[in-house]
């Protein structure tokens, strides 16, 4: 009986140990980058009644993360949510009015300005900050680190890609998508001539910081040019790649080949993806990669599944950027604001990059963390909408937008971008030539500096 | 207590409210306009005095003058259209013998109840180049053979913003004209009819002269409001394409609320805009209102 009992106990012990081993292994496997006992899991010593964040809208991610924060830490989180374009004015108004703002977010274009104006708290001395920074992708490092100090954690990262409508290409009996700008024109002219598409190309040329400017930056960079050199001198003079690119671009509009969709001048990244999903265009010009999750979503697009991703012509060079979350200097408690910031741009209490992973799975957004970019969250999360290896291949050829247009680090970049939007739209609508546009922009640099 | 003192005392609460709600922000904006004010300074309250620098930078900015030019054109188009349409529609709904005019009188007020930003968004859908209702209707009627890029073409964009603006604000002018029409004694029309005056003569010799005062008031009010048009611009064109719809209020907004958040220059541009409205109001009062009330 004793032997029996011992044998049973031994077997049971083995089963328990084996079971524990299996649980442990599966935990390690599922939480490849999760460490539940890190600083993210340590409760702050101080107390707060509530916290808040001021962000721009994206589905219901903020409702979910606020609830999760309250469930984990017992602190309610108020959210102020506006549209992407209205976010900087909203944040500015709240800050100027003396309101408490714990955490907010920024595009890479506004961020240097917010830092310069004293809105952003440095993060270097906070627990776990160095570990986060060590996991940043190259773009994220360039955005989140200002003057050598860590100022933010990543919201998402994106790379500029081309899209094409495969069924329309088949209808045109063209066996493969364009691989050069000449081929692009050739395909579009044929599509128009054959009556397959009145406006074969949709550009992202709506007014914005990285919409219309981003399209010009991307094509200029792809053709080997930049907007400013390392010393900050403009590269827009006669014969410059930026100027020649603009000439080529403007020629696709009404006064030239008339192959560009006039809606181009109004669309932003998501509205552009929705418009492309209507199936009226053959190509969609370089734009944020995650537009595919709209074009290839059957609920939003009649041509879902037929929109393919494509790298840029030539050597495939493209641009990328990352958006960030940050703690504002108007926070009510830095320790708790850091805790909240991590829920948005870092790890949750369980040591997971929960927000980054769900953004990848739900919205096809890229992450500012290398470990997330290398994980299954991207490989399986993005798969329903696009060719993941192809996108990651494009990703590897991406340079941060600041390398193409280094003025984004300067406070005068904003007023200059206002002028850039105006002048380039005038050029694309045939009101002025590309030469006049670039000359005006060169002159505008000094004007923009005076406005700051 | 004398009647004058009593009236003064009764007005004190209103004066205090107006001082707090209107005068203080106006004076404070004037103070900001002569200081160097960014976000950080506004929060801390420490501003460096910079005299007329904001004003001189503003007046040197070609974009500001483009915005002023667009604002003037927008104002002329919208105010003129509103007055003509308001008189015409008010005359129609004033026909009490026609029962539909009572229904129309109610329906005509509906656009006034639409929030300006919602109005702009509705018209954005109407104007959509490939999918908008406007192009579809015109195409179905055979008026156009190719879609028109109403809000995206620099030649039509400002008018594309003016139409929704007129649509939204016209009821206000109609109500005023309609009220004035009801104050015209019917005997005047009866006597004119006996004298053999036709409809056109009755309109030009009786109605229009009797409407002059209210038209002058509408001119002043609508001009002031048109000068500050913002919501439709924000929703439909955001100043584009190019600078085709940059108006004065959009300029002030961008200067103030887009980084680098130059609140001082934004306040200065608002003051210049207010001064322009003041001058226009003075011109109306001096040359139109006085003439019609004397």
Residue A8's pLDDT band (boundaries 50, 70, 90)?
very low
A28 pLDDT exceeds 80?
Answer: no
Taking the domain A39-158+321-381, which CATH number applies?
A: 3.40.190.10
Do residues A128 and A33 make contact, with C-beta atoms less than 8 angstroms apart? Answer: no
Average pLDDT score over residue span B272-281: 90
Residues of B in contact with A89 (CB under 8 A): 253, 257-258
Tokens 């010393």 identify what position? A231
Average pLDDT score over residue span A43-50: 93
Give the domain CATH number at B100. Answer: 1.10.3720.10
* Residue boundaries of the structural domains of chain A: 39-158+321-381, 159-319+403-451
What b/e string do you get for B258-279 counting C-beta neighbours within 10 Å, with b at 16 or more? Answer: bbbbbbbbbbbbbbbbbebbee
The pLDDT of residue B285 is 79
A84 pLDDT exceeds 90?
Answer: no
**How many folded domains does chain B comprise?**
1
From the list B239, B257, B262, the residue facing A207 with the nearest CB is B239
Q: Which residues pair with A159 in a beta bridge?
A: A320
Q: Which residues pair with A201 in a beta bridge?
A: A260, A283
A79 membership: H or E segment, kind and range: strand A77-82
Q: How far is it, in rounded angstroms, from Cα A400 to Cα A169?
A: 31
A227 pLDDT exceeds 90?
Answer: yes
Average pLDDT score over residue span A368-381: 94
A6 pLDDT exceeds 60?
Answer: no
A22 pLDDT exceeds 70?
Answer: no
Percent of chain B with pLDDT over 90: 71
Average pLDDT score over residue span A346-358: 94
B195 pLDDT exceeds 50?
Answer: yes
Q: Is B63 left (phi over 0), alpha (psi -120 to 50) or beta?
A: alpha
Give A447 to chain B, closest Cα distance, Å. Answer: 8
A425 membership: H or E segment, kind and range: helix A413-428
- Domain with B77 in it: 60-293
Q: How far is it, in rounded angstroms, from Cα A78 to Cα A101?
A: 10
Q: What's the mean pLDDT when you consider all of chain B?
A: 91
φ/ψ of A368, rounded to 5, equals -85, -5
Do residues B42 and B48 make contact, with C-beta atoms less than 8 angstroms apart? Answer: no
Instruction: Classify B47 as helix, strand or coil.
Output: coil
For residue B27, tell me if it sits in a domain. Answer: no
For residue B2, tell me if it sits in a domain. Answer: no
The pLDDT of residue A31 is 45
Average pLDDT score over residue span A3-22: 43
What b/e string do you get for B135-171 counting C-beta neighbours within 10 Å, with b at 16 or more? Answer: beeeeeeeeeeebbbbbbbbebbbbbbbbbbbbbbbb
For residue B181, tell me if it sits in a domain. Answer: yes
Q: Does A444 touch chain B (CB under 8 A)?
A: no
Q: Indicate which of A197, A416, A428, A451 best probes the interface with B, i.e. most B CBs within 10 Å of its own CB.
A: A451
Nearest residue of A to residue B238, measured between CA atoms: A207
Tokens 């992973």 identify what position? A357
The pLDDT of residue A352 is 94
Residue A12's pLDDT band (boundaries 50, 70, 90)?
very low
The pLDDT of residue A414 is 87
Residues of A in contact with B240 (CB under 8 A): 206-207, 265-266, 421-422, 425
Q: What confidence tens digit (pLDDT) does each residue in B90-142 have?
A: 998 888 777 777 777 788 888 988 999 999 999 999 998 878 899 999 999 99
From the list B130, B243, B259, the residue facing A263 with the nearest CB is B130
Average pLDDT score over residue span B166-174: 94
Percent of chain A with pLDDT over 70: 92
DSSP per residue, A264-295: GGT--HHHHHHHHTTS--SEEEEEEGGGHHHH
Residue B292's pLDDT band (boundaries 50, 70, 90)?
low
For residue B13, tell me if it sits in a domain. Answer: no
Q: Does A83 touch chain B (CB under 8 A)?
A: no
Nearest residue of B to residue A418, measured between CA atoms: B254
For residue B3, tell me if it sits in a domain. Answer: no
For residue B244, tell me if it sits in a domain. Answer: yes
Of the listed ranges A24-38, B23-37, B139-153, the one predicted with least confidence: A24-38
Q: Indicate which of B47, B58, B117, B241 best probes the interface with A, i.e. most A CBs within 10 Å of its own CB.
A: B241
Q: Do A426 and B129 touch (CB under 8 A)?
A: no
What are the tokens at A277? 């999903």
Q: Do A418 and B262 touch (CB under 8 A)?
A: no
Identical fold for domains A39-158+321-381 and A159-319+403-451, yes or no, is yes
Q: Does A127 touch chain B (CB under 8 A)?
A: no
Q: Indicate which of A120, A121, A266 best probes the interface with B, i.e. most B CBs within 10 Å of its own CB.
A: A266
B294 pLDDT exceeds 80?
Answer: no
Parallel, antiparallel, or unpaired for β A201-202 and A77-82? unpaired
Q: Does A100 touch chain B (CB under 8 A)?
A: no
Q: What confidence tens digit (pLDDT) does each residue in A258-302 have?
A: 999 999 999 999 999 999 999 999 999 999 999 999 999 999 999
The pLDDT of residue A75 is 96
For residue B112, tell me if it sits in a domain. Answer: yes
Residue from B290, B189, B168 nearest B233 by CA: B168
What are the tokens at B41? 């300074």
Nearest residue of A to residue B132, measured between CA atoms: A263
Q: What's the mean pLDDT when you consider all of chain A?
A: 90
A133 pLDDT exceeds 70?
Answer: yes
B12 membership: H or E segment, kind and range: helix B3-18
Q: What confidence tens digit (pLDDT) does each residue in B61-94 have?
A: 999 999 999 999 999 999 999 999 999 999 988 8
Other CB atoms within 10 A of residue B81 CB = 17
Q: Do B61 and A119 touch (CB under 8 A)?
A: no
A17 pLDDT exceeds 80?
Answer: no
Instruction: Classify B42 as helix, strand or coil.
Output: helix
Instruction: Classify B109 as helix, strand or coil.
Output: coil
Q: Which residues contact A299 (CB under 8 A, 6 or more apart)?
A: none
Pick the CATH number of A159-319+403-451 from 3.40.190.10, 3.40.640.10, 3.40.50.2000, 3.40.220.10: 3.40.190.10
């Amino acid at each position: 009986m004793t032997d029996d009992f011992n044998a049973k106990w031994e077997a049971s012990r083995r089963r328990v140990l084996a079971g524990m081993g299996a649980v442990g292994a599966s935990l390690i496997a599922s939480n490849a980058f999760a460490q539940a006992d890190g600083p993210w899991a340590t409760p702050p010593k101080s107390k707060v009644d509530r916290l808040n964040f001021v962000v721009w809208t994206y589905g219901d991610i903020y409702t979910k993360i606020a609830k999760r924060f309250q469930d984990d830490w017992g602190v309610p989180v108020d959210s102020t949510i506006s549209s992407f374009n209205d976010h900087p004015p909203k944040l500015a108004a709240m800050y100027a009015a003396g309101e408490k703002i714990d955490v907010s977010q920024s595009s890479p274009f506004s961020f240097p300005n917010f830092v310069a104006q004293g809105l952003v708290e440095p993060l270097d001395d906070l627990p776990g900050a160095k570990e986060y920074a060590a996991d940043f992708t190259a773009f994220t490092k360039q955005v989140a680190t200002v003057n050598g100090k860590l100022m933010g954690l990543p919201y998402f990262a994106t790379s500029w890609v081309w899209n094409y409508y495969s069924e329309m290409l088949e209808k045109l009996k063209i066996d493969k998508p364009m691989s050069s700008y000449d081929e692009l024109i050739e395909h579009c002219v044929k599509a128009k001539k054959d009556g397959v598409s009145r406006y074969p190309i949709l550009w992202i040329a709506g007014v914005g910081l990285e919409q219309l400017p981003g399209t010009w930056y991307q094509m200029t960079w792809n053709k080997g040019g930049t907007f400013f050199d390392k010393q900050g001198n403009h590269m827009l003079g006669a014969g410059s790649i930026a100027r020649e690119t603009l000439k080529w671009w403007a020629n696709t509009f009404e006064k030239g080949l008339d192959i560009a969709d006039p809606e181009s001048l109004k669309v932003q990244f998501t509205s552009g993806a929705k418009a492309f999903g209507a199936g009226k265009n053959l190509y969609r010009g370089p734009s944020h990669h995650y537009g595919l999750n709209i074009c290839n979503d059957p609920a939003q697009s009649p041509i879902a599944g037929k929109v393919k991703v494509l790298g840029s012509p030539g050597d495939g060079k493209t641009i990328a950027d990352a958006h960030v979350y940050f703690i504002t200097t108007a926070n009510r408690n830095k320790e708790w604001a850091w805790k909240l910031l991590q829920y948005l741009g870092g790890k949750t209490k369980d040591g997971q990059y929960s927000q980054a992973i769900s953004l990848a799975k739900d919205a096809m957004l890229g992450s500012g963390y290398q470990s997330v970019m290398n994980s299954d969250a991207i490989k399986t999360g993005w798969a329903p909408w696009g060719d993941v290896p192809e996108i990651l291949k494009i990703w590897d050829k991406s340079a941060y937008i600041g390398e193409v247009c280094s003025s984004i680090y300067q406070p005068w970049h904003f007023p200059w971008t206002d002028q850039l939007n105006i002048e380039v739209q005038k050029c694309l609508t045939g009101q002025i030539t590309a030469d006049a546009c670039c000359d005006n922009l060169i002159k505008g640099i000094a004007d923009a500096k005076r406005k700051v | 207590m004398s009647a004058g003192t009593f009236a003064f005392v009764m007005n004190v609460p209103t004066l205090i409210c107006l001082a707090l709600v209107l005068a203080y922000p106006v004076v404070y904006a004037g103070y900001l306009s002569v200081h160097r004010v960014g976000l950080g300074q506004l929060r801390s309250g420490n501003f460096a005095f910079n005299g007329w620098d904001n004003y001189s930078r503003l007046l040197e900015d070609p974009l500001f003058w483009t915005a002023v030019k667009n604002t003037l054109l927008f104002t002329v188009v919208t105010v003129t259209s509103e007055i003509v349409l308001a008189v015409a529609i008010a005359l129609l709904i004033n026909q009490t013998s026609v029962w539909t005019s009572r229904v129309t009188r109610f329906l005509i007020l509906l656009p006034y109840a639409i929030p300006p930003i919602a109005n702009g968004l509705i018209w954005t859908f109407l104007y959509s180049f490939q999918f908008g209702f406007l192009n579809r209707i015109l195409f179905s009627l055979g008026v156009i053979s190719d879609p028109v890029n109403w809000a995206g073409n620099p030649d039509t964009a400002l008018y594309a913003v003016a139409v929704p603006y007129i649509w939204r604000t016209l009821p206000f002018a109609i109500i005023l004209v309609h009220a004035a029409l009801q104050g015209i004694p019917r005997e005047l029309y009866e006597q004119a009819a006996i004298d053999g005056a036709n409809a056109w003569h009755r309109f030009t010799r009786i109605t229009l002269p009797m409407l002059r005062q209210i038209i002058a008031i509408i001119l002043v009010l609508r001009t002031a409001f048109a000068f500050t048009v913002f919501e439709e611009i924000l929703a439909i064109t955001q100043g584009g394409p190019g600078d085709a719809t940059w108006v004065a209020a959009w300029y002030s907004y961008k200067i103030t609320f887009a980084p680098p958040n130059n609140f001082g220059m934004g306040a200065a541009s608002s003051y210049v805009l207010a001064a322009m409205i003041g001058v226009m109001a003075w011109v109306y009062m001096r040359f139109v209102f006085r003439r019609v009330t004397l």
